[in-house]
Amino acid sequence: MKKKVVLITGAAKGIGKAIALELAQAGYDIVINYFSSQEQAMELKNQIEELGVSCLAIQADVSKEEEVEEMFQIIEAKFEGVDILVNNAAIDLSNLFHLKTADEFRRTMDVNVIGAYNCSNRAYRYMLDKEFGRIINISSTNGINTYYPMCLDYDASKAALISLTHNLAVQFSPYVNVNAIAPGFIGTESELDGYDEEFLKEEQEKILVNRYGKPEEVAHLVKFLISDQANYINNTVIRIDGGQMGAV
């Protein structure tokens, strides 16, 4: 039986990498999308192939339609199409409010929201033809009601991604389930960088389990949501934040 193919955007490191490894171990064929982290993407590709599944690593800026089209043509030449799409690619240009620019805001929305739209819109063709598909959008509790003015553009993009999730679920029904995951603080390579210890301590105290999350824990949730056990879960947002107070 043909393995299902999963495209994970922004998959060279962090949460995307954890998802790629988790799903490869579960027997899915994997497509790693990356923008600038070529070395990490190639190392991950080798790791995944050692698990006995097929893997592509493709450089593309998901905010650009033409690059997304080229990426999907490469995928279709090898795998026919994408059964499962994980829209994980995101940037966070955190800065003091008065130093932010409209260009930074625009770039954040382009990658985090338009990128997810571009990939979903393109993946849907194959999903519709097969009458099956799963799309998981990686949002954030920042898009619900945890607010940090230094990353208001990121917060706005993650709220927009939740709205996009609901609209795509309606548009792509009944064959494609579209859900969003909203992680809280996850201890990736870069998530906790740049914050002072006092801020991190204060934020950890707001988490009921009193620790930061692990990328692998997000990956476990993705694996469940794309499985047959989750066939009746659609058009929803699932927080994975350790019980982060203020994110309701």
User: Active-site residues: which are they?
Assistant: 154
Residue type, position 165, single letter: T
Query: DSSP string spanning 117-164?
Result: HHHHHHHHHHHHHHT-EEEEEE--GGGTT---GGGHHHHHHHHHHHHH
Paired tokens of 171: 């548009």
User: Which residue in the block uniquely carries the two structure tokens 């990490």?
Assistant: 40
- What's the rounded Cα separation, in Å, for the pair 114 and 207? 31
Cα-Cα-Cα-Cα torsion 104, 105, 110, 116, nearest 10 degrees, comes to: 120
- What's the rounded Cα separation, in Å, for the pair 166 and 158? 13
- The three-state secondary structure class of 219 is helix
8: β partners: 32, 86
Largest CA distance in the chain: 56
Cβ–Cβ under 8 Å, residues 243 and 168: no
Q: In Å, how far from its chain's centre is CA 247?
A: 19
